[in-house]
Amino acid sequence: MFREFRAAAVLLLVLTIVTGIAYPLVVTGIAQVAFPARANGSLIESGGKPVQDGARVPVDGARAPVDGARAPVDGARAVGSELIGQPFADPKHFWSRPSATSPYPYNASSSSGSNQGPLNPALTDAVKARIKTLRDADPGNTAPVPADLVTASASGLDPHISPAAAEYQLARVAKARRIDAEKVRALLTQTTEGRQFGFLGEPRVNVLRLNLALDQLR
């Protein structure tokens, strides 16, 4: 009996060291060397550049919780992740896709959709309210509202909108900033991401990156 107990204890100790200490350290080390920016959350600096670490702080019109990490040495601050959406309410910014996470939108610790079906009146009311908000912000815009501006994604964390959704907001942003619409459109074209590997997914626009680039526009 003691022999079996000793074998079990030795096996437990070995597996604890291998799988609980050695393996995590090796995987973390490889990730930090091979792709440090992604391993540290794909963070974005206030200047729009990716960083490896830094405290998340809000940009104008956005909500981003501070996590206590240190800021980059050059003084730039990380304002979010290119993988997690943020809400924007300022007319001078492009607005993100709606989020149904709780207790607040874009809660990365509670990824979820609304689970509301097409026949649910609550979904209909939510879509109507979102359309009204967009129309009120840009009364002269009579174009059809793109679906991704009034419906939440399954994760509730989508950082992208479609080029059509960005184009719909372009005139409002240009007017609010008092700059030429073509200047904003050129920036939108520059920040539009193509299909992955040329054939996967659809073209998309990272809202945080676009707004940070817009804030640097002169």
Q: For residue 41, what are its two tokens?
A: 């959350």
Q: Identify the pLDDT of residue 75.
A: 55
**What is the reported pLDDT for 46?**
75
pLDDT of residue 69: 33
Do 29 and 58 meet the contact criterion of CB atoms below 8 Å apart?
no
- 139 DSSP assignment: T
What DSSP string describes 165-207? HHHHHHHHHHHHHTS-HHHHHHHHHHHEE--BTTTBS--EEEH
Tens of pLDDT, residue by residue, the chain (218 residues) = 778 888 999 999 999 999 999 999 999 999 999 988 888 888 888 765 665 443 333 334 343 333 333 334 355 688 889 999 999 999 999 999 999 998 999 998 999 999 888 899 999 999 999 999 999 999 999 999 999 999 999 999 999 999 999 999 999 999 999 999 999 999 999 999 999 888 899 999 999 999 999 998 86
Amino acid in the structure at residue 174 = A
Beta strands 50-51 and 78-81: pairing type? unpaired
Question: Rounded CA gap, 190 and 103, in Å?
Answer: 35
How far, in Å, CA of 68 to CA of 56, rounded?
Answer: 8
CA 112 to chain centre: 14
Structure tokens at 14: 């070995």
What's the token pair of residue 160? 């992208």
The predicted structure's pLDDT at residue 41: 85
Token pair recorded at residue 152: 């939440």
**What span, in angstroms and rounded, lies between the C-alpha atoms of 205 and 161?**
5
Closest among 207, 170, 177 to 59, alpha carbons compared: 207
88 SS3 class: strand
What is the per-residue pLDDT for 77?
A: 80
